[in-house]
């Protein structure tokens, strides 16, 4: 436990020095602002630039409910550009330590692999969750200002669901970073796999049940319809199961010294 705190602290100091604690939240704040602002002003922007001739703008577009816009922030901003940035910011999470020998070096100390992994995932999850939450709150404020109000409890419920999906993103990227040695490959595999997960959401109920990306859909549903899908809790449990499995794989991979491939 003590070693875990030491490693956790080191991760935080590193993020502070890399200024990751500043730029990652800023990125998400921008993404959070984009959706409500663009949705609100798009008709006037188009009107001003397009000359207004021959363009008909569906009036329902500006008449969107606040919940729908906030859901679009999750679905169109965070789930696309947002998580790509998240993955890219974390692709070296373990790979860097492997490449410069720090992983092997740290493990020559009386440190368990578990506390090493926990330090990595907890720190990176906290910064990711913090950034997503900040961006989401800013989006919430703009939505409430420009569109109809979204109830606070719905907003929080949706956020909690979404953060489960974020935990899955962090763990999955960590696993890929443990197994592969090139940052490009790590980013590619993580992004393709996670986008794939997100795209197939809604295709079939069976896939949705085991697909962690459904958590994002459940979050959006809460915002749009105001009711919690009964499958959401099951889905959260399945996601937690995947995360435990992922942690097991990472632990197995490092503890069996597969990382020393030279």
Partner 1 sequence: MKLEIKNVTKTFREKIAVNNFSMKLKPGECVGLIGPNGAGKSTLIKVIADIIDPQAGEVLLNGKKISKMKREIGYLPQYPNFFHWMTAKETLTFMGQLSGLQKKELTISIPEILTKVGLKGEENSKVGTFSGGMKQRLGIAQALLHKPSLIIMDEPVSALDPIGRREVLNLIEEIKKDTTILLSTHILGDAEEICERFVIIKNGTKIEDTTITELLNRNSKNKIYVEITAKDQEWIDVVKKLPFVEEIEVIGHKVKIIVENIDKNKNVILENALEHEVDIVKFEIHNDTLEEIFLKLVVGNE
Q: Which of 18, 47, 204, 234 binds partner 1 (CB under 8 A)?
A: 18
Q: What is the dihedral of CA 124, 125, 128, 129, to 10 degrees?
A: -150
Residues 187/262, Cβ–Cβ less than 8 Å = no
Name the residue with tokens 């503890």: 255
Rule CB under 8 A: which of 207-226 touch partner 1? none
19 touching partner 1, by CB under 8 A: no
Q: For residues 14 and 153, which CB has a smaller minimum distance to partner 1 in the complex?
A: 14
Structure tokens at 187: 């980013």
CB of 86 to partner 1, least distance (A): 22
Q: Which stretch binds partner 1 (CB under 8 A): 12-20, 54-62, 81-89, 221-229?
A: 12-20
Q: For residues 56 and 109, which CB has a smaller minimum distance to partner 1 in the complex?
A: 109
Q: For residues 70 and 91, which CB has a smaller minimum distance to partner 1 in the complex?
A: 91
Q: Which stretch binds partner 1 (CB under 8 A): 8-16, 134-142, 151-159, 212-220?
A: 8-16
Site string for partner 1, 241-260 (x = CB under 8 A): ---------------xx--x
As a whole number of angstroms, the distance between CA 163 and CA 243 comes to 13
CB of 245 to partner 1, least distance (A): 24
Q: For residues 54 and 110, which CB has a smaller minimum distance to partner 1 in the complex?
A: 110
User: Please, what's the largest Cα pairwise distance for the chain?
Assistant: 72
- Calculate the CA 73 to chain-centre distance: 13
Distances (CA, A) of 158 to 67, 84, 126, 200: 10, 21, 18, 20
Q: Which of 10, 19, 23, 63 binds partner 1 (CB under 8 A)?
A: 10
3-state secondary structure 58-111: CHHHHCCCHHHHHHHHHHHHHHHHHHHHHHHHHCCCCHHHHHCCHHHHHHCCCC
| DSSP 3-state of 129 | helix
CB of 173 to partner 1, least distance (A): 21
Q: For residues 59 and 261, which CB has a smaller minimum distance to partner 1 in the complex?
A: 261
Q: What is the dihedral of CA 80, 83, 160, 246, to 10 degrees?
A: 130
Q: For residues 3 and 231, which CB has a smaller minimum distance to partner 1 in the complex?
A: 3
Rule CB under 8 A: which of 85-114 touch partner 1? 100-102, 104-111
Structure tokens at 110: 């009386």
Q: For residues 111 and 134, which CB has a smaller minimum distance to partner 1 in the complex?
A: 111
Q: Which stretch binds partner 1 (CB under 8 A): 4-12, 24-32, 40-48, 195-203?
A: 4-12
Instruction: Give the 3-state secondary structure percentages of the chain, helix then strand then coil, rounded to 5.
Output: 80, 0, 20
Which spans of this chain sit near partner 1 (rule: CB under 8 A)? 2-3, 6-7, 10, 13-14, 17-18, 100-102, 104-111, 256-257, 260, 262
């Amino acid at each position: 436990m003590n070693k875990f705190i030491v490693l956790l602290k080191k991760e935080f100091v590193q993020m502070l020095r890399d200024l990751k604690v500043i730029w990652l939240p800023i990125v998400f704040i921008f993404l959070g602002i984009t959706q409500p602002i663009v949705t609100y002003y798009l008709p006037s922007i188009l009107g001003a630039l397009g000359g207004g001739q021959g363009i008909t703008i569906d009036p329902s577009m500006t008449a969107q409910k606040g919940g729908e816009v906030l859901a679009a922030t999750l679905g169109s901003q965070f789930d696309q550009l947002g998580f790509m940035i998240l993955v890219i910011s974390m692709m070296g999470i373990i790979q860097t330590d492997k490449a410069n020998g720090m992983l092997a070096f740290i493990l020559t100390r009386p440190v368990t692999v578990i506390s090493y992994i926990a330090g990595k995932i907890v720190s990176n999850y906290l910064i990711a969750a913090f950034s997503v939450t900040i961006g989401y709150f800013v989006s919430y404020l703009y939505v409430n200002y420009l569109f109809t109000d979204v109830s606070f409890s719905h907003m929080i419920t949706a956020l909690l669901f979404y953060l489960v999906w974020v935990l899955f993103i962090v763990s999955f990227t960590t696993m890929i970073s443990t197994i592969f040695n090139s940052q490009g490959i790590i980013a590619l595999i993580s992004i393709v796999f996670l986008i794939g997960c997100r795209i197939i959401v809604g295709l079939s109920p069976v896939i949705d049940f085991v697909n962690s990306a459904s958590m994002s859909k459940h979050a959006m549903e809460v915002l749009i319809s105001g009711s919690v899908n009964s499958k959401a809790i099951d889905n959260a449990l399945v996601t937690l199961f995947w995360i435990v499995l992922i942690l097991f794989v990472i632990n197995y991979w490092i503890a069996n010294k597969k990382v020393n491939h030279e």
